[in-house]
Chains A and B, each alone.
Chain A
Amino acid sequence: MPITHSSPTTPPALPAESTVISIKDLDFSYPDGHIALQSISLSIKEGEKIALVGPNGAGKSTLMLHLNGILSGRGDLEVGLLPLNKQNLPVIRSLVGLVFQNPDDQLFSPTVFEDVAFGPLHMGLSEDEVYARVEAALAQVDMRGFENRLSHHLSTGQKKRIAIATVLSMHPQILVLDEPSAGLDPRARRGLIELLRELPLTMLVSTHDLRMAKELFPRMVIMDEGKIVADGETGVLLKDEGLLEKHGLEGV
Chain B
Amino acid sequence: MTRQNIFDQYTAKTSPIHRLSPIVKVVVAVLFIFSNTLLPDGAWLSFALSGGIILTLTLLAKLEWHYTLKRSLIVLPFALAGISALFSLPGKTLAIWHIGSLELILTDAGLLRFESILVRSWLSVQIAILLVATTTFPDLIHALEHLRLPKMLVTVVAFLYRYMTVLSDEALRLLRARQSRSALLPNPPHSDDFSRPALGKLRTKVLTTKTRGGGSLLWRARTAGNMVGQLFLRSYERSDRIYHAMLSRGYSGHLRTLNPHSMESRDWLLIVLAFIFIALLQLFAHIS
Contact = CB atoms under 8 A, between A and B. Distances in A.
A205 B206 CA distance: 42
A167 B249 contact: yes
Contacts of B279: none
A170 B241 CA distance: 20
B252 A121 contact: no
A150 B8 contact: yes
Interface string B127-139: 0000000001110
A91 to B, nearest CB: 10
Given A93-B249, A118-B249, A108 B162 contact: yes
Interface in B1-34: 1, 4, 8
Contacts of A93: 247-250
Contacts of A202: none
Nearest to B161: A110
Contact of B248 (A1, A70, A102, A150): A70
A207 to B, nearest CB: 18
Interface string B234-267: 0000100110111111111001111100000000
A152 B257 contact: no
B100 to A, nearest CB: 51
Given A70-B244, A100-B244, A130-B258, A110 B158 contact: yes
Given A110-B158, A111-B138, A152-B166, A170 B4 contact: no
A121 B258 contact: yes
A179 interface: no
Interface string A1-13: 1011000000000
A71 to B, nearest CB: 9
B151 interface: yes
B138 to A, nearest CB: 4
Contacts of A123: 250
A109 B248 contact: no
A194 interface: no
A119 interface: yes
Interface in A49-103: 65, 68, 70, 90, 93-94, 96, 98, 100, 102
Contacts of B78: none
Given A68-B248, A122-B249, A127-B258, A1 B158 contact: no
Interface string B189-231: 0000000000000000000000000000000000000000000
B141 interface: yes
B242 A105 contact: yes
A104 B256 CA distance: 20
Interface string A118-160: 1101110001001000000000000000001011110100000
Contacts, number: 96
B138 A110 contact: yes
B161 to A, nearest CB: 5
Given A70-B244, A121-B258, A104 B137 contact: no
A70 B245 CA distance: 9
A150 B3 CA distance: 13
A110 B137 contact: yes
B251 A122 contact: yes
Contacts of A102: 241
Contacts of B245: 98, 100, 105-106, 108
B108 interface: no
Contact of B166 (A100, A104, A170): A104
A4 B250 CA distance: 14
A123 B250 CA distance: 6
A90 B251 CA distance: 9
B145 interface: yes
A166 interface: yes
Contacts of A90: 250, 252
A121 B256 CA distance: 6
B159 interface: yes
Contacts of B242: 105, 108
Nearest to A94: B250
Contacts of A167: 248-249
B165 interface: yes
A152 B250 CA distance: 23
B250 A170 contact: yes
Contacts of A121: 256-258
A100 B241 contact: yes
Given A100-B244, A121-B256, A130-B258, 9 more contacts: A1-B151, A93-B249, A104-B238, A108-B245, A108-B246, A109-B158, A110-B161, A122-B256, A155-B1
Interface of B: 1, 4, 8, 136-138, 141, 145, 151, 158-159, 161-163, 165-166, 238, 241-242, 244-252, 255-259
12 contacts: A1-B145, A1-B151, A93-B248, A107-B162, A108-B159, A108-B246, A110-B158, A114-B257, A150-B4, A150-B137, A152-B4, A167-B248
